[in-house]
Amino acid sequence: MTIPVSYYLILSAIVFLTGVVGVLIRRNIIAILLSVELMLNATNINFVAFSQHLQDLGGQVFVFFALTVAAAEVAVGLAIIIALHRSKDTINVEQFNLLKW
Amino acid sequence: MAQLFFGYFAGVIAITSVLVVALRNPVYSALSLLIMFFHVAGLYVTLHAEFLAAVQIIVYAGAILVLYLFVVMLLNVKQDDRYHGQWRIAAFVCVPLLLELLVLLASGGAAQSGLLPAQTAADTADNTLAIGTTLFSTYLFPFEVASLILLVAMIGAIILAKRDFPERGEM
């Protein structure tokens, strides 16, 4: 008994929407990065589900690359957060308006 | 049986992903993200992607999340984080998407699109071997580019987080 691929799409849509809402409504910059991780995982679920559905390993290889990029993103993002916290003593995104017009 | 497993994993993934956004304390958010990563790995196992499940646990749960927790505890975040004034934009973006999802669900979620039917023939016994073969033949160049991305991220993180960065004008 196999699961139809649409179920996986619905699951990943829910997770992705949660991530979008998190990016838009949270003020804590760490919570925003966590929401980005949620979105990346939602796309990964899609990739793996279609890889199984179409019997093509390309999807799994792409998840591998997405994971690499996620690791790079976390390393650079957290370094930026530390630098921001050092300069402003806060991680509330509303305090960072230097580049805002 | 498969549906039971899928229901369990999907339910936990959905609930913990909502908790990641809803919880105020970043440590709790990170821990519920950890639970979500483990269940996504379980979902990968049910999808016959065992290698990715292992990598998911090692890289996401083992490395990325530990990094998050390090930073949360290093910065000693107080939980004064209230929601952003941008929630109207969030509603504007997400309510149409959610409606679209519900419409799709109502019009028969199992509507078979023009996708190929799942062939059960090529159920590879050795997932890791197959991924390795694909990665080092078809996707060799993207693999090298990924290593370059990691190198750039490593250098960038060191430079950004270094304390005695030479003064280059006040920020």
CATH 3.40.190.10 at B1-79, yes or no:
no
Chain A residues lying within 8 Å of B138, measured CB to CB: 58, 61
Chain A: give the shortest CA distance to residue B147, in Å. 8
Residue ranges of the domains in chain B?
A: 1-79, 127-163
Nearest-by-CA chain A residue for B153: A72
Contact A40, B32 (CB under 8 A): no
Chain B residues lying within 8 Å of A1, measured CB to CB: 1-3
What does the angle CA A60 – CA A40 – CA B19 come to, to the nearest 5 degrees?
A: 125
Q: Has residue B117 got a pLDDT over 70?
A: no
Q: How far apart are alpha carbons B115 and B143 in whole angstroms?
A: 28
Residue carrying structure tokens 């139809």: A4
Chain A residues lying within 8 Å of B13, measured CB to CB: 11, 15
Buried/exposed B9-41: b ≥16 CB within 10 Å, e otherwise = bbebbbebbbbbbbbeebeebbbbbbbbbbbbb
Q: How far apart are alpha carbons A13 and A43 in whole angstroms?
A: 9
Sign of the CA dihedral B70, B76, B80, B85? negative
Radius of gyration, alpha carbons of chain A: 17
Residue ranges of the domains in chain A?
A: 27-93
Tell me what ipTM this predicted complex has.
Answer: 0.91
Please write the tens of the pLDDT for every residue from B6-63. 999 999 999 999 999 998 888 899 999 999 999 999 999 999 888 999 999 999 988 9
CATH 1.10.10.10 at A27-93, yes or no:
no
